[in-house]
Every structure is written in structure tokens, then in C-alpha cells.
Amino acid sequence: MPKTLSQRCVFLGLCVSLVAMAGCSKNATSPTNVSSTQSSPETSVAAQTLEPEAAPVAPVLPSRISADEAKKAMAELESKINEAIAEFEPAEKAAIELALNAAPISNQSELLLGPWYGNLSTDPASSSYWYYERHDDGTLRSTGMNLETEFKQFDRFDDDLVWTTRGRVIFEYKVNEPEEVHLFLIQSIDEQTFRYKMAIEGIPLAEWTIDTDTRGTTKLPDPPEGWEEMEQ
């Protein structure tokens, strides 16, 4: 899910800044894949759709952290959940609490495991791709790339996180580089498709768009030749 699943919040912030600078309008209701009638080397990557490969038996994105590191990070995550929820405005907090109190989807925990991938294009200038795998020990490895076509820049990410669920809410927390807790409201999930909303503090509930991820392995696109990697 993202960043990383967690990088998506950063990606959204980059998109908002770029839209303001370029005078573009942002579609805030649903993510769409961007296509162009005239494809060029600079925009063709942003218009790609990720395709699945054969499902592996072993983890394709194994965790790189020790059991002790994961245990410590999970304890930190659990201690921050209530604080994270309290930071939201009343309308957004109510939506989170509704999902918290909802019964989990049948086999929800098992369905969340394994590799998933997705992508988001908010406008022709910006795209994000992510590819991640949840493990049954509560760890999560998330990789991806953000593309900024207007400035011919990109950045990659490869993060280790821990995750847990309550009701129909997923909570994620980055290991070794602690930051805020990230929340995802599960809309639906089955063997092949996972739909969810990322709850972002400071963004109105109406602008929490639904992302749709696909189960399976994939290869993230390469940045166009000559593009500059953003400073981290």
C-alpha cells in the first residue's frame, strides 16, 4: 500500500504542492490512470499499468528486520494508535471509529497477507507506484516509486514496517525511522482485489479517495532516462 504505503502521504503532499505551482486542478474523488493521445518518453511511464506475474511460493519481499526489532516497533505502534485517532477532526474521527467498530471481513487477516501492487495518478504530472507484501508475523515490506513528470524527477522507496488491524482499520508504523501511524480503512477485499481509503490527518473525509490494489507480483517501472532522483 504504500510510500510505501506510508509514502503515499508524502506523495500526496508533493502532488498538492505541484498542483499549486503549476496551476493544475486535482481530482480529489478517485484515483485514475492517466493516458495521453500523444505518448512521449517523458509521460509514457506515468501511463503504464502494472501487470501481474506468476504468484510465488516464498515471500517475494521478505522482511529485513529481526524479531526483536519487530516486537519493539509493534509495541510502539500499539501505544500510539489512540493518540493517532485523536488527532483527526470530528467528521473524520467518526468515520474511523465506524470502521473500528465494524466486524472484520471474513478471512480478512489471511486475505491481507502476501504480495499486492497498485498505482495512482492524480494528474498528468504526477504518478506513484507501489508493491508490498504483508507477513503473518506482523511485518510489512513496502517498495515503490513516485514520478514527477513536470520536473522530470523521481524517488524510490523500500521500507520495513509493522502492521495490525482493529475492525476494518489497518494501522502501519515504520521501523527504524519512526513517524506517525498511518491508517487505512478497508472497503473490501477478496483473493484478487483490495479496496481501501487512506485516512490522512488534515484532509477532509470527502477527499479520502479509494485505492484499488491487485494481488500478485509485478515489476515496478524504471524512471525515464535522464530524469533526476529527488533528494530524500
Supply 173's cell numbers.
508504523
Q: Structure pTM? A: 0.76
Using CA atoms, how far residue 93 sits from 68, 86, 152, 199, in Å, is 32, 7, 37, 9
Residuewise pLDDT in 10s, the chain (232 residues): 654 444 554 444 444 343 334 443 334 333 333 333 444 444 455 456 676 665 555 789 999 999 999 999 999 999 999 999 999 999 999 999 999 999 999 999 999 999 999 998 767 778 999 999 999 999 999 999 999 988 999 999 999 999 999 999 999 999 977 778 999 999 999 999 999 999 999 999 999 999 999 999 999 988 889 999 997 6
Q: How many CB atoms are closer than 10 A to CB 154?
A: 20
Domains of the chain: 7-19+64-223 (2.40.128.280)
pLDDT score of 38: 47
* CB 223, CB 45: distance < 8 Å: yes
Residue/partner pairs of 202-209 with CB below 8 Å, 24 or more apart: 203/12, 204/91, 204/92, 205/91, 205/92, 205/95, 206/28, 206/29, 207/28, 207/29, 208/92, 208/95, 209/28, 209/29, 209/30, 209/31
Q: Is 20 helix (H, G, I), strand (E, B) or coil?
A: helix
Q: Is 76 helix (H, G, I), strand (E, B) or coil?
A: helix
